[in-house]
Amino acid sequence: MPLISGTQVAEKVLAECHRDIAALKARGVTPGLAVVLVGDDPASRAYVRSKDKKCRDLGLHSVKLELPATTSQAELLEVVAKLNADPAIHGILVQSPPPKQIDEAAIVRAIDPAKDVDGFHPVNVAKLALEDPTGFVPCTPLGCQRLLIEAGIETKGAHAVVIGRSMIVGKPMAMLLMAKGPGGDATVTVAHSRTRDLAAITRQADIIIAAIGRPYFVKAEHVKEGAVVIDVGINRVEAPDTEKGYKLVGDVAFDEVAPKCRAITPVPGGVGPMTIAMLMANTVKACKQSLQ
């Protein structure tokens, strides 16, 4: 069972970004990404820190704005408006989840769609549905699609079952897989918590994308022999024998599923590194498009 290494494919994506950034800099433009964090959620803080570091490693202009947990909707809208107007910033990301006084959907709508490198703005959601290549696609499903392409997995005509229908992963994943062209042209089924007899459906899949948020949810009984499995899940489970006392696992019961697979992504080292690499790629794309 070959492992699909997200770490390796992410390196390739980042090398492409590096090359593009050098070419842009030669033209006098440095792509800029602003990441806004409201509050002090430790997981969000860690994500923001790693995005900032990756930007700096690549030579991107990185702006990290850390706002207090008491920030109001109006204050956050003002920050977004300033970033929208800043010509040095090509990509804007407001780290999720914000504190409860913030209306996240309204913040997403306030971001200039041309700078919405997360791909959550309604304009970009519509562009994905319309297969308009100028749109921004959410980084995680975009990374999953790239993994399939790089691993040489034929999606054309394949039956892909996406488990999960969130706006961040499941829905855009399904749209990417059903779109025309490389990494698409699949026959797509989307399953969710109301799906009846999930295992009977997933056993028909040539490709399973698991984006559920439940550790070890996808078992051997869900998977047919020779299927390809992409595990999007990142779940923290107790592991008393480790230094931290916990470990990160996917939505797939890897040990029992992997032997049946033609290919599978590990957790960690699968989809995770792709998400941040695609964020960098989206920022470079936003910068290039701003010059057209």
241 is written with which tokens? 């024998």
**Binder of ligand NDP out of 209, 233, 252, 285 (CB under 6 A):** 233
The answer to the question of residue 234 lying near ligand NDP (CB under 6 A) is: yes
Beta carbon of residue 187, minimum distance to ligand NDP (angstroms, whole number): 19
**Binder of ligand NDP out of 71, 275, 282, 283 (CB under 6 A):** 275
The answer to the question of residue 169 lying near ligand NDP (CB under 6 A) is: yes
- Number of Cβ within a 10 Å radius of residue 235: 17
Task: Give the total of residues touching ligand NDP (CB under 6 A).
Answer: 26
Residues labelled as active-site residues:
51, 95, 118
The answer to the question of residue 172 lying near ligand NDP (CB under 6 A) is: no
Beta carbon of residue 154, minimum distance to ligand NDP (angstroms, whole number): 23
- Number of Cβ within a 10 Å radius of residue 291: 9
12 is written with which tokens? 């390739």
| Binding range to ligand NDP, per CB under 6 A, among 78-86, 94-102, 104-112, 271-279 | 271-279
Distance CA 124, CA 128 (A): 6
| Binding range to ligand NDP, per CB under 6 A, among 31-39, 85-93, 127-135, 161-169 | 161-169
The answer to the question of residue 175 lying near ligand NDP (CB under 6 A) is: no
Q: What percent of the residues of the chain are helix, what percent strand, and what percent coil, each to the nearest 5? A: 45, 20, 40
Distance CA 31, CA 26 (A): 12
Which of 24, 175 has the CB closer to ligand NDP? 175
- What CA dihedral angle connects 215, 216, 222 and 227, to 10 degrees? 100
The answer to the question of residue 80 lying near ligand NDP (CB under 6 A) is: no
- Number of Cβ within a 10 Å radius of residue 259: 12
From residue 192 to residue 231, the character string flagging contacts with ligand NDP as x (rule: CB under 6 A) and all else as - is xxxx--x------------xxxx-----------------
Distances 181 to 126, 223, 286 between C-alpha atoms, Å: 18, 26, 22
Distances 283 to 32, 62, 166, 240, 261 between C-alpha atoms, Å: 7, 11, 23, 39, 34
> Where does residue 226 fall: left (phi above 0), alpha (psi -120 to 50 degrees), or beta otherwise?
left
Which of 29, 276 has the CB closer to ligand NDP? 276
From residue 91 to residue 120, the character string flagging contacts with ligand NDP as x (rule: CB under 6 A) and all else as - is ------------------------------
**Binder of ligand NDP out of 39, 135, 170, 266 (CB under 6 A):** 170
Which of 24, 160 has the CB closer to ligand NDP? 160
Distances 43 to 11, 233, 254 between C-alpha atoms, Å: 23, 15, 24
| Binding range to ligand NDP, per CB under 6 A, among 78-86, 92-100, 189-197, 255-263 | 189-197
* Amino acid code (one letter) for 291: L
The answer to the question of residue 140 lying near ligand NDP (CB under 6 A) is: yes
* Amino acid code (one letter) for 40: D
The contact set with ligand NDP (CB under 6 A) reads 140, 163-166, 168-170, 191-195, 198, 211-214, 232-235, 251, 271-272, 275
